Amino acid sequence: MRKILFFFGLTLFIFAVSLPQADAAQKKRQLAKSAKSTIVAKSSKSSRFSKSSISAKRKVSKTFVATKHKTVSHATAAPLKPSFGQMAGLHGATDSLDLKSSVALVIDQETNEVLFSKNEQAVLPIASLTKLMTGLVLREAKLPMDQMITISQADVDTEKGSKSRLGVGTELTRGELLHLALMSSENRAAHALARSYPGGLSIFVGLMNAKALSIGMSDTQYVEPTGLSSKNQSSARDLAKLVNIAHSDPILRELTTSPDYQVAVGNRTLQFNNTNRLVKNPSWDIGLQKTGYISEAGRCLVMQTKIAGRKLIMVFLDSAGKLSRIADAERVRRWVESRSAGRSTSVPLASAAGEKIIHFQ
């Protein structure tokens, strides 16, 4: 009996002890389950937040890109300022060679016969063709070419805001400045040459106009020595006369047709190139040339050249494209060569506007 009671009591004791442990285990399982649910919930929430964030970022990114593209698509380049020739309707004139220059003139230098003409009487801005007269006046003054001239603030372009590698304070000889002005159309060089002339800039410009009148350039006027001003104007007929006179000076011939030139500026050596690519073309025989460009004048070119045994003077004004004046010169050359085959050089080829004679003086 005692054993039975002992066994029963021991069972009750074990049950009493194991019950709290089971309770604790149950609670522990419940807590673990609850914690797991919380973690899953948080993870799900975090995932939803992350996806939402990524979506929002993508949306912002797309909006930014779209806005950027929209801005770019609405950005338009400022329209080019029309040239005087365009405003006058000169580009509407047609010719048999389909030239892109609104004004053209080709003359036999030895016979003075007009071979081709197009709007040759139009008076237009001539841009840096001006520098040919600047060089002619300077050469006739016979000033010392080795005299040093300093680029000053007065030589900085305030007309068009053009740039230059000749900084204020640069010292070069008169000969070097003349070379750069005629070959690479250096504006500060041309202005410094005129400014440093005895009597100053106004005297020099007066001499330019006087020289123009003396050689029969009745349609021409100059207000400054670079060509940056659209008030420097002339006609193709007048410019042909200028080319003819300038070609008689061997220095002007040499400097205008020089392919490139180097000058020492401080501790640096600067290389300048000719603005007319044809001078480096072996198929061309060019005795004198000058290019010019401002928006009011378009692209301009004058040349003395030899084609098919004939010495010719070519003038192209107000050409619309960057390379079109060169292309026009090539068209004229091919035309002269094709028409000259099997004919006497004493007979004029043709004229787009009727045969004319221009007398050089």
Tallying the residues shown for the chain, one arrives at: 361
CA atoms of 340 and 353, how far apart (whole Å): 19
Angle between helices 130-141 and 174-183 (to 10 degrees): 150
Asked if residues 185 and 292 have their Cβ atoms less than 8 Å apart, the reply is yes
What number of H helices and E strands is found in the chain?
A: 9, 11
0.95 cut: is pTM over it? no
The residue type of 349 is L
Q: Which of these is catalytic: 118, 131, 241, 290?
A: 131
Catalytic residue among 83, 102, 184, 185: 185
Spatial CB neighbours of 76, under 8 Å, sequence gap ≥ 6: none
For the chain, the straight-line distance linking the first and the last C-alpha, in angstroms and rounded, comes to 160
Options 83, 101, 102, 128, the catalytic residue: 128
Angle (nearest 5°) at CA 121 between 120 and 123: 110
Q: How far apart are CA 96 and CA 85, in angstroms?
A: 19
Query: Is 306 part of the annotated catalytic residue set?
Result: no
Q: Catalytic: 128? A: yes
pLDDT in tens, the chain (361 residues): 555 555 555 555 544 545 445 454 554 455 445 444 443 444 444 444 344 444 444 443 443 333 334 344 344 555 578 999 999 999 988 899 999 999 999 999 999 999 999 999 999 999 999 999 999 999 999 999 999 999 999 999 998 999 999 999 999 999 999 999 999 999 999 999 999 999 999 999 999 999 999 999 999 999 999 999 999 999 999 999 999 999 999 999 999 999 999 999 989 999 999 999 999 999 999 999 999 999 999 999 999 999 999 999 999 999 988 889 999 999 999 999 998 875 544 334 444 443 454 555 5
Rounded Cα gap, residues 307 and 181, in angstroms: 27
DSSP designation for 233: E
255-305 residue pLDDT tens: 999 999 999 998 999 999 999 999 999 999 999 999 999 999 999 999 999
